[in-house]
Amino acid sequence: MGRALPDARDGLKPVHRRILYAMHELGLTHDRPFRKCARVVGEVLGKYHPHGDTAVYDALVRMAQDFSMRSPLINGHGNFGSIDNDPPAAMRYTECRLQALTTSSLLQDIESETVDFIDNFDGSQQEPTVLPSRIPQLLLNGSSGIAVGMATNIPPHNLGELIDGLVAMIHNPEITDTQLMQHIHGPDFPTGAQILGTAAIKEAYTTGRGSITMRGVANIETIEQRNRPDREAIIITELPYQTNKAALIEKIAELVNDKKIEGIADIRDESDRDGMRIVIELKRDAYPRVVLNNLYKQTPLQANFGANMLALVNGEPQTLTLNQFLKVFLDFRIETIERRTRYELRKAEERDHILQGLLIALAQLDAIINLIRHAPDAPTAKGELISNYGLSEVQADAILQMQLRRLTALEADKIRLEHEELQKQITDLQDILARKERVLEIIETEIKQIKTQFATPRRTVITHAEGELDDRDLIANEKAIILLTEQGYIKRMPVNTFEAQSRATRGKAAAKVKDDDTVEHFLTCCDHDSVLFFSDRGVVYCLRAYQIPVGSRTSRGTPIVQMLPIPKEEKITSIVPVDEFSSEEYLVMLTKGGNIKKTELAAFSNIRANGLIAISLEEGDQLRWVRRARVEDSVIIGSRQGMAIHFRCNHEQLRPLGRATRGVKSMKLKDGDELVGMDILPAAILDTLNTDTDVEIEDIPETEDIENNEENPEVAGNNSVGPWVLVITMGGYGKRVPVAQFRLQNRAGQGLMATKFKNRKTKDNLATLRIVNSDDEIMMVTNRGIIIRQAINAISIQSRSATGVRVQRLDEDDAITGVAIVPPDASDAEDAE
């Protein structure tokens, strides 16, 4: 028990305590030269530790390893082993000295009678039973040991957090374990990595036992290779605590050879002095996210730390909670401060006693000098001084040893000043001993100094597991734009990155797009929304909006394969934000071949990590557009050559189907034509319109001067509050057409003309067709990544047969590829309700 379990006060086992004390005795502080480890081991063996030299050297090495100790206690010089479990060099080659933290926090005041000393093994030396630690070292660096019938395994923590927790306990002695967790968030491992969930941490802190899940840090990157196509790779940069890197690589290779993990082409260890980097190169058809999940499941890349918070309290093993750990330490620290204060008080009183004797001598100097001169020997002079002047033996000795130079007026003044200072110090020390709050103030001041000097940022990230406090509870529900390029780069930006601009201006660059890349998908949503990603294969994936990394206007974004298990040949063709999965709402899906179907939104509430089938597709067909709709709504679909069809979403026109179904025909297309878009017209607006006949409103002009920036005057009967069908062409022209001009038809018809094109020679085509209202704002994006934000009111109202006005100036080879409607502010929505 004595050698395997740490003391709850200083967190050390006897061998560690003896090593540190021996180094302190040798004067190996952080500002002195290094000394051979063999010298230190010899000192420890000869004076304090009657065991083998291997045990002592192994313990010394571990205290110097930055991957074993969160705050190493010894500064090592030479080969002290590695995270690959390489052995350290022999002790005759390596050198060591104490770290500054060790001197400041563990060995300070050890000569001030702060701790008890006992005889060593042969009674020739004295050694401390505990070190006067100023910090909870047991929690800082952790400990593990197996005794007889019991074991301990305490994880390391962050110094700054521990000190914050201790300060909180000083101010509130009744603080609970849960309240302490607001300051001490969880273990902080020297190797970084992640901790999954807080439930196990809470269990360990409140009961003394818990299994904490650790996970290494791995990212999916695209490796560019010369003369070969780019490949995806998993890059591991941090490992769980006490995971052997070489053994991990060996385990992965073994699993690949046994075909237990598929999709790995090559494994390389590219670690160097700058940090760890394990590169796992993937095969072309591999799903990076699936491979990574398999690595977590089958290798030590994810491991458990079985916390068992056992330590010696007054020589007895006890399982402690977080609160009890700090309480035991705080009680020890109070005792240490009181012992130090009593020692300083005794020394001050002894010194002051001598000074009082000297002051008596200075007051009657001539008589005392005469007495000493006439005394036959020193004992007689001492006796006469004691009897004649009422001095003590110590005072008489001090007077007899006094040098002649101290009889000068200046030296006499110094003695008086020192006496006055000591009187103040004695009063202060007595006050400290009389008042516990003074002791606590001193403890707080000292630990705050240590925090300022030695605290480092947290290395281990604690992530919230499923079923716990959700990340979104900690994230503001801001409006955001999400962009996805053709080559699969995704990013999120705040909507206020782009302020509204006038019609026919150039817009702002929204993405640093490569020459061969274009912005393909573009939507606006709120950070708390679920974002559904539909691929051309008819598979749907899901992410929370806030999980998509934020990028600046000019950044390229993050490869979507790092976030979703999408194979290389699969493409995202539609993105739908969802705030709530309701059974009263449907997803309407339209394929490239013209098949349309609607499925309950609730069917997509639990999407697996590797996706879910949303629609069955015919050979060669692709899923292209997905929109949310209710059963009373209607759908409007546009084609590249400017045709549009409008029909209801009710069960007669479009009956609800399950996920794995194909759908029905939506629109009859002319040769060479294709579908370009679909939008939903809400029922509340639909009911207010007279859409039973094909309404042509003669008051609305068919054409307009395209360069003219003045809006058309509002025309009576043109439904000036909307909604409108927003028609935008690839060439940068647009208009608002009253929905009433698109009469309701039966599904699978040819539809009506939606727009004329300004100049067919430029091969202008319809880019998109959306339903908008007068107070909406839209954002348009070109294939070069230029975004413009514009108020709908800036775009003229025209008839179906008009050509529209210029909405965005485009470079010669640029074209509009997408339009998104900016969602209203959450505050606006609340006001509306």
Q: 532 pairs with which residues across the strands?
A: 542, 576
Structure tokens at 701: 């002009």
Residue 792 — left, alpha, or beta (φ > 0 → left; ψ -120 to 50 → alpha)? Answer: alpha
Structure tokens at 409: 């007026």
Q: 656 pairs with which residues across the strands?
A: 598
Q: Which amino acid is at 832?
A: A
Q: Could you give the residue ranges of the DSSP H alpha helices within 258-392?
A: 288-298, 322-363, 365-374, 378-389
Burial of 53 (0-12, 13-18, 19+ CB in 10 A): middle
Evaluate whether 27 touches 43 at the Cβ level (below 8 Å). Answer: no
H or E, element range at 490: strand 489-494
Q: Is 733 a catalytic residue?
A: no
Evaluate whether 322 touches 307 at the Cβ level (below 8 Å). Answer: no
Evaluate whether 638 touches 728 at the Cβ level (below 8 Å). Answer: no
Q: CB neighbours (10 Å) of residue 822?
A: 18
Q: Report the C-alpha gap between 461 and 440 in whole angstroms.
A: 32
Catalytic residue among 21, 48, 57, 93: 93
- Torsion of the alpha carbons at 508, 511, 514 and 518, rounded to the nearest 10: -80
Structure tokens at 275: 């940090």
**Positive or negative CA dihedral for 199, 201, 206, 207?**
positive
Q: Report the C-alpha gap between 49 and 387 in whole angstroms.
A: 52
Q: CB neighbours (10 Å) of residue 710?
A: 9
Q: CB neighbours (10 Å) of residue 659?
A: 18
Nearest CA among 544, 442, 438 for reference residue 492: 544
Q: Report the C-alpha gap between 443 and 440 in whole angstroms.
A: 5
Q: DSSP string spanning 180-205?
A: HTTTS-S---TT--EEE-SHHHHHHH
Q: Which amino acid is at 768?
A: T
For the chain, the maximum distance between any two Cα atoms, rounded to a whole number of angstroms, is 139
Nearest CA among 532, 535, 678 for reference residue 603: 532
Size (the chain), residues: 833
3-state percent breakdown (helix, strand, coil) of the chain, nearest 5: 30, 25, 45
Structure tokens at 201: 């941490």
Q: Which amino acid is at 827?
A: S
Nearest CA among 345, 348, 499, 367 for reference residue 422: 348
H or E, element range at 623: strand 623-629
Q: Which amino acid is at 706?
A: I
Evaluate whether 181 touches 281 at the Cβ level (below 8 Å). Answer: no
Backbone φ and ψ for 191, nearest 5 degrees, come out as -90, 5
- 3-state DSSP call for residue 627? strand
Q: Report the C-alpha gap between 611 and 540 in whole angstroms.
A: 5
Nearest CA among 625, 638, 415 for reference residue 534: 625
E-strand stretches of 552-606: 558-559, 572-578, 586-591, 595-600
Nearest CA among 711, 717, 677 for reference residue 697: 717
Q: What is the DSSP letter of 272?
A: B
Active site residues: 93
